[in-house]
């Protein structure tokens, strides 16, 4: 069974999905709150506003790296692992 996603992680994930889909400027706080299915107070517990979500890009990449690493066989060379990570990250971006 996988780890349950925290409320903060869900807000971050949903925010970046919306930024990609609608663009940062067009995404509203209400969009984020509704899609994440969180109370407004819960959002503000973790973030000051939409702008503070821009600081979470490192979290998005960390989660993506973990996801990619799960699919790489343990016996893959370091060079090949780096090539896969590089390719997948650039594809993601």
For 28-74, write each residue's pLDDT tens digit.
Answer: 999 999 999 999 999 999 999 999 999 888 888 888 888 899 999 99
pLDDT at res. 1: 39
Mean pLDDT of 15-30: 94
The burial of 30, by beta-carbon neighbours within 10 Å (0-12 exposed, 13-18 middle, 19 or more buried), is given as: exposed
**Residues shown for the chain:** 93
Is the pLDDT reported for residue 3 higher than 60?
Answer: no
Please give the DSSP secondary-structure letter assigned to residue 56: G
Residue partners of 12: CB distance under 8 A and separation at least 6: 53, 56, 59, 60
**Class assignment of domain 7-92?**
mainly alpha
């Amino acid at each position: 069974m996988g780890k349950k996603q925290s409320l903060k992680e869900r807000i971050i994930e949903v925010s970046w999905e919306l930024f990609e889909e609608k663009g940062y400027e067009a995404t509203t706080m209400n969009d984020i709150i509704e899609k994440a299915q969180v109370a407004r107070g819960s959002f503000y517990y973790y973030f000051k506003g939409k702008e503070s979500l821009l600081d979470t890009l490192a979290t998005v990449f960390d989660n993506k790296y973990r996801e990619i690493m799960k699919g790489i066989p343990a016996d893959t060379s370091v060079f090949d692992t780096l090539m896969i990570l590089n390719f997948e990250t650039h594809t993601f971006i």
